[in-house]
Amino acid sequence: MSISTHLSPVVLLAGLARAAALPACILSFDGRVPQNATSKTFVSKQSPFNPGYVLGPNVTWDEIIEFPPIPPSRFDRQAGTKPVGLSLSDKSVFLSGSEGRETALRRAELLVNNNDPTVTGHKTWHMSVRTDPARPLNYTHEYQFAFHEAQDFQADFWSIKAGAPLGAPVDTPPRKTFRVEGYKWDVPTKLFFETPLTDDVWHNFGIDLNFDENMISVLYSTNDQPLKVVMPPTFNNISGKAPTTLGETHFGLQKRPLGANIENFLFNGTQEEGIDEALFLGGIFQDDSTNGCITL
Q: Which residues form the interface with ligand NAG (CB under 6 A)? A: 34, 36-37, 41, 46, 56-58, 91, 93, 138, 140-141, 150, 155, 237, 239, 245, 258, 264, 267-268, 270, 272
Of 5 and 268, the one with the shorter C-beta distance to ligand NAG is 268
> Least distance in Å: CB of 150 to ligand NAG?
5
Q: Which is nearer to ligand NAG, 103 or 222 (CB)?
A: 103
Q: How far is the CB of 222 from ligand NAG (least distance, A)?
A: 26
User: Cβ(215)–Cβ(233) under 8 Å?
Assistant: yes
CA distance 296 to 284: 13
Three-state secondary-structure class, residue 157? strand
State which residue, 119 or 150, has the beta carbon closest to ligand NAG: 150
**Angle at alpha carbon of residue 62, lines to 246 and 267, rounded to 5°:** 55
Q: Given the complex with ligand NAG, which of 150 and 293 has the nearer CB atom?
A: 150
CB of 85 to ligand NAG, least distance (A): 17
- The CB-of-269 to ligand NAG minimum distance in angstroms stands at 8
Largest distance between two CA atoms of the chain: 58
Q: Which is nearer to ligand NAG, 7 or 150 (CB)?
A: 150
CA angle 150, 249, 246 (to 5 degrees): 35
Closest distance of CB 141 from ligand NAG, Å = 6
Task: Could you list the beta-strand ranges (E) of 164-237.
Answer: 177-181, 191-196, 203-210, 215-222, 228-235
For residues 65 and 273, what is the distance between their CA atoms, to the nearest angstrom?
21
